[in-house]
Amino acid sequence: MTRPVHRAAPATDTPIRQGSLRAHNLDLTFRQIVGARRAPISRSELATVTGLTRPTISRIVDELLAGGLIVEAGPARSGNSGRPRVGLNLAPTGPAGLGLDIRVDALSACVVDLTGAVRHLEFVPHTQRDAGPEETLRSLAAMATEANRAAAADGLTVVGATLAVPGPVQDGSVVRFAPTLGWRDVDAGAALRSRIGPAELPVLVDNDARLAALGELYASEQELRNFVCVSGEFDIGAGIVLAGAPFVGSRGWSGELGHVMVESDGQLCSCGATGCLQCYAGIQQILAAVPAGRHPGPAAARQSPAVVIDGLVSAGSPEILAALDRAGQALGIAISALVNLVDVDTVLLGGSYSLLASWLTEGIERELRTRVATSAWAPVEVRPAPLGPDAAVIGAALSAVDKVRRDPNSWLARVQQGEGGWPRQTA
Amino acid sequence: MTRPVHRAAPATDTPIRQGSLRAHNLDLTFRQIVGARRAPISRSELATVTGLTRPTISRIVDELLAGGLIVEAGPARSGNSGRPRVGLNLAPTGPAGLGLDIRVDALSACVVDLTGAVRHLEFVPHTQRDAGPEETLRSLAAMATEANRAAAADGLTVVGATLAVPGPVQDGSVVRFAPTLGWRDVDAGAALRSRIGPAELPVLVDNDARLAALGELYASEQELRNFVCVSGEFDIGAGIVLAGAPFVGSRGWSGELGHVMVESDGQLCSCGATGCLQCYAGIQQILAAVPAGRHPGPAAARQSPAVVIDGLVSAGSPEILAALDRAGQALGIAISALVNLVDVDTVLLGGSYSLLASWLTEGIERELRTRVATSAWAPVEVRPAPLGPDAAVIGAALSAVDKVRRDPNSWLARVQQGEGGWPRQTA
């Protein structure tokens, strides 16, 4: 295979020398193994897809095996010859990511390994309304320490932690504005870093809707490339994925779908504007449509709002059906704006919406058909998000381990320096 | 300067060999000259910023000079030593791009050279309402042939042509839907290719708002990186630029701002939906607010609508002032949705809006302050777009020559093969 000299060169701002050439080719090879999505791939297949020589591939594979990033698995996908070939796969031991999430009714923690498998998932009942940021962050830190211990017992090394929050985050640390939590300018990253050991463990904070979209991206068996995952939890947020990568906007504040106007002269929102989507399709707002006397008994207080709504629908509450209808239409208007502006072809209903999808989809689709300029020849698909309310915490864990997927060379350099991954274990 | 081996390698799917390494380093060097934005840069400065050796830089510079992509200019930016150094600049002769645009009142054609300078800009009065796509495209082809001739006389080689159209375009050729032109499924690219010689000249069709944003991006003296350029011409479109590059969405259909809902139970739009921004802030709709008897006389029929509106404002028409007020508010609601979803920090009012900015800005800013979730700590800036109604045709020409900026190696390979650029000249 020869390539013409004038082929477009990789667009980077680094000159390429021998050392980085080695790193580049290792990176390229590793990405093929990541891209094979748990299907074992052989050394000869790697040589074919990368265009690198067999000896180069052999050297790289040895390096990846020694660094604990890959393992030899069962036979690779059948080739032309009858000879069985050894398949290579991502290592189920080795680097792992830790995710944390604040839900309406619980806190959750999650550990995901390099293959993307969930190895640990825990919930602790928690009512944010009664707890300040201090208490909530302390509880999250305790869960993180426990999850880290569980990961170590499974032979995993946690390489980073990410907290999902409902609102825009600055510098990967400060929650600027999360009205439904009652948080404003809370440096959640610093608070967690001071409590989760060791000091060198990277701890980041990110938007929950964006992390949920990342979770759904990895979980998608159909290899979704362009979609929005609309999460209804505390707030309504949109995680946008374009060309298989999360879309963050210029400052990481994209996807504030809950504050798109859907009603002229509408209700006053907690953000200070009127007629925001949040006022008509927020989970709490849907529930508020039911008169107090018709609410289910105290047993429901420990259930998630989506489960309560589902119960009310089953009981035939006309108020809840009307509220869901209005929510579906409002979601449809706002999502139409998103599709018109950002251009995605698939809408996943995530978070609590995944549990209520059968009551919301029709109204959303009706608005999309009417309002999306390109819908006549390119209809938008709407469906429930497979991971549902767990997507944000799984996505948070994935985002923490993803840096090893994207930059295997840094991990290998650490291992070679005898550091055994970024953080020393606390357990 | 040494770099650690584990530094993240360039993310490409191509293995790097000697040939592409040369191409990569030439590309890297050329990008520094492009990035210097007409300020001459010396060989030694290039060595410093790229990290490449002086001999490598010398060889690359010789190659770029021989290929006609750069010229030796006046002295470079002053260095530490007193010795004057020869600056290098993009060549004002050589590759050029051809842009075409359909406006409310005229067709336009433009030639831009590699430095981004406008070398030719022509308008022909044209009322789209009276002409079908066939006639319009024939007129555009005639203008393109004339512009190509003018470019050749200036020592330029047109390497591609781009037509700007008000609506979503498929495969860089087919106008799917441009209601204000009355076009549906018009293969404008094929029509132009059959009329503009030579056959190998690449002819593309793209959305006018996106091309306008590209024009403003290049023209921006302050090096804008993240902005939306809202164009009011026939239709209302938004060209989004993120991290200094046009944002296209998953299928190239981003930025359909004109069809974002701004009024519940609003007017019926030509797209079939109700309450679209277009119905309240379209240039024709603003003008329609003036009773027929109060319209200016027949002399105004040859003026652009924005000029007519400006005249009515000067004459103190209360109807036009009310219409502009409503338009500003409607624009503010829709642009707030865009900023909430896409996250940009600057709004340029382009096309006809650039001429009406002083009547629209206040209403837009009021809505942005209230509706953008992050506006409290990160206000959005609103200002008129410098290129105004010329941005789309200039952006179209820039997009055609931009491929040489992004891929100088392909141009050099052509020159070395004696082809003197992509197309042979028709003149």
Dist CA B171 CA B205 (whole Å): 9
Integer angstrom CA distances of residue A70 from A90, A275, A394, B115, B392 = 4, 51, 22, 49, 51
Q: How many CA atoms lie within 13 A of B305 on its CB side?
A: 22
Q: Which of these, B126, B132, B120, B133, lies nearest to B161 by C-alpha position?
A: B120
CA distances from B284 to B312, B320, B327 (A): 14, 12, 11
Backbone angles phi, psi at A295, to 5 degrees: -70, 150
Give pLDDT, residue A316. 87
pLDDT in tens, B74-95: 665 555 555 567 899 999 999 9
Q: Which two three-digit tokens encode residue B81?
A: 């030593």
Q: In this structure, are A205 and A347 located in the same domain?
A: no
The percentage of chain A sitting over the pLDDT mark of 90, rounded to a whole number, equals: 63
Residues A171 and A85 placed together within one structural domain of the fold: no
State the 10-residue block means of pLDDT for chain B, 427 residues long: 30 57 91 86 93 94 95 67 77 95 90 95 84 92 95 94 94 88 92 86 94 93 87 90 91 94 94 95 90 65 79 90 96 98 96 95 97 92 95 97 92 77 41
Structure tokens at B132: 């079908």
Q: Is A5 part of any domain?
A: no
Q: Are residues B309 and B233 in the same domain?
A: yes
Listed residue (B401, B350, B355) closest to B241, CA to CA: B350
Burial of B163 (0-12, 13-18, 19+ CB in 10 A): buried
Is the Cβ of B26 closer than 8 Å to some Cβ of chain A? Answer: yes
Counts of helices then strands in chain A (DSSP H, E): 13, 16
The answer to whether residues A332 and A368 touch, using CB atoms and an 8 Å cutoff, is yes
pLDDT of A421 > 60? The answer is no
- Residue pair A91/A114 in contact (Cβ under 8 Å)? The answer is yes
Strands A346-351 and A381-384: parallel
Residue with tokens 């790097």: B16
Query: pLDDT tens, A161-200?
Result: 999 999 889 999 999 888 788 898 999 999 999 998 777 8
CB spacing of B256 vs A6 below 8 angstroms: no
pLDDT of residue B198: 75
Interface membership of A330 toward B (CB under 8 Å): no
Closest chain A residue by Cα to residue B270 = A373
Q: Do A343 and B250 touch (CB under 8 A)?
A: yes
Place of tokens 């991502």: A90
Whole-number pLDDT of residue A409: 93
Same domain, B55 and B196: no
Check whether A204 has a pLDDT greater than 50.
Answer: yes
Question: Both A363 and A261 in a single domain?
Answer: yes
Residue of A339, A338, A309 lying closest to A324 (CA atoms): A309
B157, B420 contact by CB (below 8 A):
yes
How far is residue A209's CA from residue A304's CA, in Å, rounded to a whole number?
A: 18
Whether residue A378 lies within 8 A of chain B, CB to CB, comes out as: yes
Answer yes or no: is B86 within a domain: yes
Q: Quote the tokens at residue B307.
A: 């000029």
Last residue within a domain, chosen from B90, B119, B144? B90
Residue A371 at interface with chain B, using a CB cutoff of 8 Å: yes
For B297, residues 6+ apart whose C-beta sits below 8 A from its C-beta are: none
Look at residue A299 and tell me whether its pLDDT is greater than 90. Answer: no
A111 touches chain B (CB under 8 A): no
Contact A6 B14 (CB under 8 A): no
Q: φ and ψ at A228, to 5 degrees? A: -120, 135
CA distance to partner chain A, nearest, from residue B227 (Å): 9
Q: How many other CB atoms sit within 10 Å of the CB of residue B155?
A: 14
When mean pLDDT is compared across A126-130, A154-158, A342-346, A378-382, the lowest value belongs to A126-130
Percent helix, strand, coil in chain B, to 5, is: 45, 20, 35
Are A191 and A260 in the same domain? no
Same domain assignment for residues A84 and A118: no
Q: Do the domain assignments include residue B427?
A: no
What share of chain A in percent tops pLDDT 70? 87
- The answer to whether the beta carbons of residues B257 and B364 sit under 8 Å apart is no
A12 lies in some domain: no
**What's the gap between Cα B123 and its chain centre?**
18
CB-based contact B23 A5, cutoff 8 Å: yes
Q: What is the DSSP letter of B288?
A: H
- In DSSP notation, B173-225 reads TEEEEETTTTEEEEEHHHHHHHHSSPTTS-EEEEEHHHHHHHHHHHH-TT---
> How many Å apart are CA A212 and CA A409, to the nearest integer?
27
**For the domain that residue B64 is a member of, what is the CATH number?**
1.10.10.10
Identify any residues that bridge with B154 across adjacent strands, giving them in sequence order. Answer: none
With residues binned 3-state (H G I as helix, E B as strand, rest as coil), the percentages for chain A, rounded to 5, are 45, 20, 35
Q: What is the domain extent for residue A343?
A: 224-385
Tell me, what's the ipTM? Answer: 0.86
Residue in chain A lying closest to B330 (CA): A264
The pairing of strands A346-351 and A227-232 is parallel
Largest CA distance in chain B: 76
Last residue of a domain, one of A37, A71, A90: A90
Of A27, A259, A341, the CB nearest to B260: A341
Q: How many residues does chain B have?
A: 427
Backbone phi, psi, residue B238, to 5°: -125, 125
- Quick one: CA torsion of B330, B332, B334, B340, rounded to 10 degrees? -160
pLDDT digits (tens, 9 = 90+) for A388-416: 999 999 999 999 999 899 999 999 988 88
- Selection from A323, A402, A393, A421 nearest residue A163 by Cα: A393
pLDDT at A341 over 50: yes
CA distance A262 to A276: 6
Residue corresponding to tokens 């319209």: B295
Q: Decide if B4 is inside a domain.
A: no
A259 contacts on B by Cβ (under 8 Å): 336, 340, 371-373
Residue from the list B240, B334, B377 with its beta carbon closest to the beta carbon of A176: B377
DSSP secondary structure, B298-355, as one string: GGGGGS-HHHHHHHHHHTT-HHHHHHHHHHHHHHHHHHHHHHHHH--SEEEEEETHHH
In A228-257, the residues whose Cβ lies within 8 Å of chain B are 238, 240, 242-243, 248-257
B378: chain A residues, CB-CB within 8 Å: 251, 253
Tally of CB atoms within 10 A around A381: 13
Q: How far is B94 from chain A (nearest CA, A)?
A: 18
- A142 lies in the same domain as A61: no
| B48 found inside a domain | yes
Q: What is the CATH number of the domain that holds A228?
A: 3.30.420.40
Of the candidates B32, B60, B90, which is a domain's last residue? B90
Question: Which of A34, A261, A368 has the most B C-beta neighbours within 10 Å, making it the best mutation to test the interface with B?
Answer: A261
Q: Which residues of A touch B177 (CB under 8 A)?
A: 373-374, 376
- Comparing CA positions, the residue from A391, A118, A395, A130 lying closest to residue A246 is A395
Q: Strand B156-165 vs strand B203-207: parallel, antiparallel, or unpaired?
A: parallel
Question: Do residues B235 and B295 share a domain?
Answer: yes
**For position A307, what pLDDT does the model report?**
85
Give CA separation, A427 vs A132, A146, A157, A192, in Å.
Answer: 28, 9, 11, 17
Looking at beta carbons, which residues of chain A come within 8 Å of B52? 15
Q: How far is A296 from chain B (nearest CA, A)?
A: 34
Tokens of B304: 């652009």
The alpha helices in B67-207, defined as continuous H runs, are 133-153, 188-195
pLDDT tens digit string along A124-152?
988 766 778 999 999 999 999 999 999 99
Same domain, residue pair A239 and A309: yes
B166 secondary structure, DSSP code: S
Q: Which of residues 169-188 of A touch B (CB under 8 A)?
A: 176-177
Contact B344, B379 (CB under 8 A): no
- Separation between Cα atoms, residue A146 and residue A307, nearest integer Å: 28
| Same domain assignment for residues B381 and B398 | no
**pLDDT at position A80 over 80:** no
Residue B284 included in any domain: yes
- Tell me if chain B has a CB within 8 Å of the CB of A370: yes
Q: Which pLDDT does position A180 carry in this prediction?
A: 80
Q: Do the beta carbons of residue A400 and residue A151 sit within 8 Å? A: no
Name the pLDDT band for A206 (thresholds 50, 70, 90).
very high
Please choose, from the candidates A179, A393, A399, the residue with its C-alpha nearest in 3D space to the C-alpha of residue A270.
Answer: A179
pLDDT digit string (tens) for A16-65? 555 678 898 999 999 999 988 778 899 999 999 988 999 999 999 999 99
* Candidates A31, A224, A340, A381, partner chain B, best to mutate (most B CBs within 10 A): A340
pLDDT of res. B45: 93
Look at strands B156-165 and B94-102 and give their pairing. Answer: parallel
Number of domains in chain A: 3
Q: Judge if B41 and B137 occupy the same domain.
A: no
Residue B421 lies in a domain: no
Give the C-alpha separation, B66 to B59, whole Å.
Answer: 11
Q: Which positions ≥6 away from A16 have C-beta within 8 Å?
A: A24, B10, B16, B21, B24, B25
Strands of the sheet containing B41-42, edge to edge, are B41-42, B86-90, B70-75
CB pairs under 8 A between A and B: 267
